[in-house]
Structure 1
């Protein structure tokens, strides 16, 4: 049994760690709420863009756009991995990196040239250690990604796809389903698919499909001109939504992890307190026995 002095030091150290984890939990909660508000604000715009694209595509069935066309042969694929700059968020990065490695394996088996791009210091360090070279790295995205930061990346993907230097764009990230559910996924953003332009929101898809028979448009300017403006915007907001989902999911993961760490610290403090009491009690008993033994020896 450890001495009482050692137990007191250990208990004090655990209490200090508990203060840190509790503070980090509160910070993650505040950041989650802010990130969630930003994602909710962007959701309405994303849904409306999705409805317009679906309705226009259904009404003007003879209208095509380069972003909607699948390339005959897939030779070059961009895989963008969205991770975090900081740790202490449980299995958040592990799930994303596992999906990314599976995607790279699939791309290699299909004899496609991968173009790996990484967002976050954790993915950058992981792939550097694995000996896999990334063509682009981003560390500027924290818990508040902005559309202005994402737009240049989206513009480069659009230009590459229309030029033929990029045949497919996929994103590996933690998709936000609800406050209790987040899932690591690989999403194909290019070529655009009007059936999934809703960023995975089923209700919007059903609403758009139910409107196909009732919504008719008179185009001014032409449908082609409208789609030329609307489809790139649709892709940009989808990519931005991926960054927002990743930011929300990261803060949820960090909040849950820090909450569990705080609870574990409480359990450890309780166990150390019990061990300290037993050690103290044993010490008192030993001293009493020594006093009694000394008294018997003198009598």
Structure 2
């Protein structure tokens, strides 16, 4: 760092820094030039720090550090641009350098995208997936499935999950989509794409699926089997007063009286009206649901009719 400081002092005030290579040198240049009026501070990074590139862990770590350094400088109001290069000829790099300096972004990724190769091979990288066209699938509705036997329904649902999974990952669906026995995580699903697949299937089949549904069922075939079971199950009936009283009693028994009171409180009415009592969240239950006088609070409760103050 001392040598770098001497070089900066000997060459007068700087107008720009363009650095490629050592991470310590990049950090020192950042510290030594913070008080100088620079027009540009450019770091040559690596696309490995942004894209999923197997076998380039060290390069990816270095690129991520330089990208973060540029982002931190920008946040501090200092000029900074990190260029996450891939293999490009020098003439192309010089041209893109001029383009990058005119852009107002701390990190740019100047790479060439072979869309034809991506369509052929597919990709699990979330950034590269955006360069692939999103296919569409015609999903069978519940009415369409109602006319099929269980075996045919299973095949249709498996095909649906396979195709929707391929669409989410931007894979080619011409061959039917994701393999029926392919594990979702191994195919490249993460938390965001898993929720996207779950949302697409929920809308297509008019089902309410848990947020973790995709990872609860490892493969498209297992997921289709669960969909078949859900479609065959009768609709859930609304909870009765007996169910409500049982839940209320269980909460009270566990010392969760405030939670039980919140559960029992009716939804707020529209319009004006007296504000709720400040003691309504704690203490006794609302008049609509009171513990029975004949039983301790840890026993079953029964609803009290309106106006009953027992």
- Shorter-chain TM-score: what band? under 0.3
Which one has more relative contact order, counting CA pairs under 8 Å at least 6 apart? 1
- In terms of fraction of residues, the more strand-rich structure is 1
- In terms of fraction of residues, the more helix-rich structure is 1
Larger Rg: 2
